Structure 1
Amino acid sequence: MLARFTFRVASLALKFALTIIIARTLGFAAVADYGLAVAVSVVSSKLLGLGFSTEISRRLSAENPSRAIHDARRLLVLYCVVYAAIAIVLIVVYVTGGFDAFPRITRSVLCGVMLVAFSEHAGLETTSYVFSLHQPRAGAVLLFVRTGAWAGVAIVSLLAGLVHSIETILAFWWGANIIAAVAAYRCIQCRGREIVSEQRTQTVRTPGSTRSVWMDGLPFFIATNVLAGLQYGERFLASGVISTDSLGRYVFVWSVSNSIQTIAYATIVVTAAPRLVRSLSVAGGDFWATLRRAVRSGVAITSLAAVSILITHKLIFRMAHEPGGSRELTMLVILLVSFVLRSIADVYWVGAVALRLGKQVATAIACVAALVIPVEWMLITRLEAMGAALSHLTASVAIVAVSVFITKRTRVANVAAVREREAAHVS
């Protein structure tokens, strides 16, 4: 876990430094293009999963993942077909003048952003498969290549005067994703061959297996996108209420606070998810003990990260030329608490995935969104930026509450039923 923590902190630091150096060497227009690529990559990494990602990762985490590896290979072919189809549509739209309303978007930038979006999803998908196959060290290295190493290369190149355009920076990004995706696919192939050579199971190629992956994963796909809306929604509500300057300052504090959830996910959640699934697919596995250990580890690491940020917040604010008064400190504390809660919810989320509670999770998260959004609007209109922080905290409290409730109400009998379904799946 220490290695994963170190890799993740280094990645965050390199990404933060890269943004600053892009602004100083290439200008803020380049920062805007880079920000566009970041936003598109975040959205695409969720939407391009098409509902398969959660379930295929769960199946790969089981004791006998041979059939799941076969399905994963077929899904990667499907994703490549989707990438090609979207690329053709975007090219046609561009040629016919569909992007004339955005004169700053040049052909090279559009191409770079598109390649970043596709490669980011491919890298995320394949890297998650490596973690799901219980290969955390390889997964951690590949994750660092995707999220930090390329940024380090870009920083050195910018400072040495070897790079003079944002397109080259984007090329570093999608190139690193491709390298990580190819290496991850190699890991998946090697694992598949190991299973065959050990004769632990035989690949059963039943018709419609990929469709079952989609059907089982669709509720989580819906819930994931609703959660993404709740993660970023308050800033969109605030954009029509508060000034651009206040919103920018809020987004900066939000970004600093969000780092603790990012660290917790890369160090705890990515390995807790496959362990929880395996605890249900092997005899004698203790799901609840595994879940409790993951929750305790998540609380410990996020609390440590939050305290570290509070200790160094004045330095962080000073580097960004941001005021660090009592108002900003209060907002930071609120958002740090909020992201600690989101990190706990992430652990219970993967617990719900292991227990195959997709329909319950999707329904509960939809109800949370319906109840929370009006409250967020009221807080933002009355308290502006501080209200945005409080609305984020409100959503976090609701999300962690329903996540804990849904997971913990699944008793021993339900766990036994899940184990029976797993046994039927691999037989």
Structure 2
Amino acid sequence: MHVLARIALRCVSLALKFALTIIVTRTLGLAAVADYGLALAISVVASKFLGLGFSAEINRRLSLANPADAIYGARRLLLLYCAVYAVIAAVVMIVYESAAFSAFSRITPGILWGVMLVAFSEHAGLETTSYIFSLHRHGEGALLLFIRTGAWAAAAIIGLVTGVVDSVEAVFALWYGTNVVAVAAACWCLSRRSRELGLGWGPHAERRMDSFRSVWIEGLPFFLSTIVLSGLQYGERFLASNVLSADTLGGYVFAWSVSNSIQTIAYATIVVTAGPRLVRSLSAGDNRYWSTLGRSLLSSAVVTFLAAGVILMAHKPIFRLAHEPAGSHEFRMLFILLVSFVLRSIADVCWVGAIALRLGKQVAVAIIFAAAVSIPVEWVLISRLGEIGAALAHLAASTGIVAILVFIVMRTRAVGSTPLLNGDTRRAS
């Protein structure tokens, strides 16, 4: 699927999710919006933590020229994830039924189960969709991503407007039901690819089990880095909550959310396809890694600059639609955040480049160092400059992240080493 088509699908998805929030507010009320926001926040956190350290490495291996072993590992991973979901659900229900929790909890069983199923299905959908992209099935991956992020929102909007959907629990059911369909479709694609490769339990089964164990070991540094990066993505917001009023913080979060859309668009259109291409270029030994990386960086920069320009030109009606002020102060804050997310989009490309080069340990150490430096700087900026300081804090963190990742990846080129080729050319041949 052409990149412009992927951009169009992603923009439609974002518009539908924004419209869904408005429709939920008007039809079900603010309490339902709070429940919907809770599910959204927990699903984002779950998508980071439930990968358990496997995601980066299994996707890298699926991107190799011959992904037979990786498909076997992906199948076993999905079974492991299902077991983890069951354990978490059992623990949550035990805690929910306890007398101490029931004394102060106002969460109904319907909301609790809805939020849990959304979180689990969002993680499973994210993992399996990324598998399809990693197998270089970009068109199929883009369609699955649209189904998960846009089509279900359209169905929910229609249901709410017509009265067929009359509760937030029903919205959740549409949400996780659509994810289940997308996961099933992705698993079918995996099975089809495994049949093409003649994958089965044969003389290489023992090696595949060893390979599966090594996925976690090699992916763990990127997992730790992802957790730290997530903290840097939202960290200034939590620091600001101790300084800013609720209304001021709400205005900042709205501007942050609008700005974040450009990173979301770039990730769904450039990064998800750049990562598999970078891995394959290395495993195939065709020496196109650096040219592919350069084109991906340029594409990400162009897409985010154009999207940022459109948002700046349309910021007044966007802010007024949400009943937010749209003066020069808000424009400056939005501009700073847009620049920050342009840098984050460039960092995303360098991130998948580092995964392709298997630079997990270097990245983990550098990102932890960046976080240690960023947190006190962010606190000073926020305490002195308020919401503008929060935006500058986000920009400072973004600058540090992209500088570190660019340095680590480009340093590999300078020394002329390609870590991926050690041991992977055998599997790719």
Task: Tell me: CA distance 1:102–1:295, structure 2 relative to 1, closer, same or farther (3 Å).
Answer: farther
1:258 counterpart residue number: 260
Q: 2:47 aligns with which of 45, 48, 51?
A: 45
1:286 counterpart residue number: 288
Q: Distance in 1 between matches of 2:27 and 2:365?
A: 48
Q: Distance in 2 between matches of 1:244 and 1:100?
A: 28
2:181 counterpart residue number: 179
Residue 162 of structure 1, CA deviation: 1.3
1:55 counterpart residue number: 57
1:290-369 aligned within 5 A:
290-369=292-371
Task: Tell me: CA distance 1:142–1:323, structure 2 relative to 1, closer, same or farther (3 Å).
Answer: same
Task: Tell me: CA distance 1:416–1:111, structure 2 relative to 1, closer, same or farther (3 Å).
Answer: closer
Residue 163 of structure 1, CA deviation: 1.4
Is 1:2 matched with 2:17? Answer: no
Aligned-pair Cα RMSD in Å: 1.6
Aligned to 2:313, what secondary structure does the other structure show?
helix
Residue 425 of structure 1, CA deviation: 4.3
Unmatched segments (≥5 aa) in structure 1:
none
Is residue 257–residue 335 contact of structure 1 (8 Å, CA) maintained in 2?
yes
Residue 98 of structure 1, CA deviation: 5.1
Which amino acid in structure 1 is aligned with residue 64 of structure 2?
A
2:144 counterpart residue number: 142
Aligned to 1:162, what secondary structure does the other structure show?
coil
Show CA shifts across 1:372-413 (max 9, x none): 000000001011111100000000000000000000000276
Task: Tell me: CA distance 1:132–1:27, structure 2 relative to 1, closer, same or farther (3 Å).
Answer: same
Q: Distance in 1 between matches of 2:26 and 2:356?
A: 46
Which amino acid in structure 1 is aligned with residue 13 of structure 2?
S
Q: With the length of structure 1 as denominator, give the TM-score of the two structures.
A: 0.97
Q: Distance in 1 between matches of 2:228 and 2:269?
A: 24
Show CA shifts across 1:264-316 (max 9, x none): 00000000000000000103241000000000000000001000001110110
Q: 2:425 aligns with which of 390, 404, 423?
A: 423
Task: Tell me: CA distance 1:101–1:405, structure 2 relative to 1, closer, same or farther (3 Å).
Answer: farther
Residue 420 of structure 1, CA deviation: 3.3
1:86-165 aligned within 5 A:
86-97=88-99, 99-100=101-102, 103-165=105-167
Is residue 67–residue 426 contact of structure 1 (8 Å, CA) maintained in 2?
no
Q: 1:380 aligns with which of 382, 403, 421?
A: 382
Residue 103 of structure 1, CA deviation: 3.2
Residue 196 of structure 1, CA deviation: 2.0
Q: With the length of structure 2 as denominator, give the TM-score of the two structures.
A: 0.96
Q: 2:241 aligns with which of 232, 239, 242?
A: 239
Residue 415 of structure 1, CA deviation: 4.0
1:72-83 aligned within 5 A:
72-83=74-85
Show CA shifts across 1:93-113 (max 9, x none): 111135436533111000000
Show CA shifts across 1:102-133 (max 9, x none): 53311100000000010000000000000000
Aligned to 1:411, what secondary structure does the other structure show?
helix
Which amino acid in structure 1 is aligned with residue 89 of structure 2?
A
Which amino acid in structure 1 is aligned with residue 325 of structure 2?
P
Tell me the percent identity. Answer: 63
Residue 71 of structure 1, CA deviation: 0.6
Is residue 62–residue 131 contact of structure 2 (8 Å, CA) maintained in 1?
yes
Q: Distance in 2 between matches of 1:15 and 1:272?
A: 25
Aligned to 2:374, what secondary structure does the other structure show?
helix
2:30 counterpart residue number: 28
Is residue 67–residue 205 contact of structure 1 (8 Å, CA) maintained in 2?
no
1:216 counterpart residue number: 218
1:178-197 aligned within 5 A:
178-196=180-198
Unmatched segments (≥5 aa) in structure 2:
none
Aligned to 1:252, what secondary structure does the other structure show?
helix
Q: Distance in 2 between matches of 1:99 and 1:379?
A: 39
Is residue 357–residue 419 contact of structure 2 (8 Å, CA) maintained in 1?
no
Q: 1:66 aligns with which of 65, 68, 74?
A: 68
Which amino acid in structure 2 is aligned with residue 263 of structure 1?
I
Aligned to 1:410, what secondary structure does the other structure show?
helix
Residue 210 of structure 1, CA deviation: 1.6
Aligned residues: 425
1:249 counterpart residue number: 251
Is residue 372–residue 395 contact of structure 1 (8 Å, CA) maintained in 2?
yes
Show CA shifts across 1:161-211 (max 9, x none): 1111100001110001110001001001101111229x9x99554142221
Is residue 276–residue 354 contact of structure 1 (8 Å, CA) maintained in 2?
yes
Task: Tell me: CA distance 1:78–1:51, structure 2 relative to 1, closer, same or farther (3 Å).
Answer: same
Show CA shifts across 1:11-56 (max 9, x none): 1000000001100110000000000000000000110000000000
1:11 counterpart residue number: 13
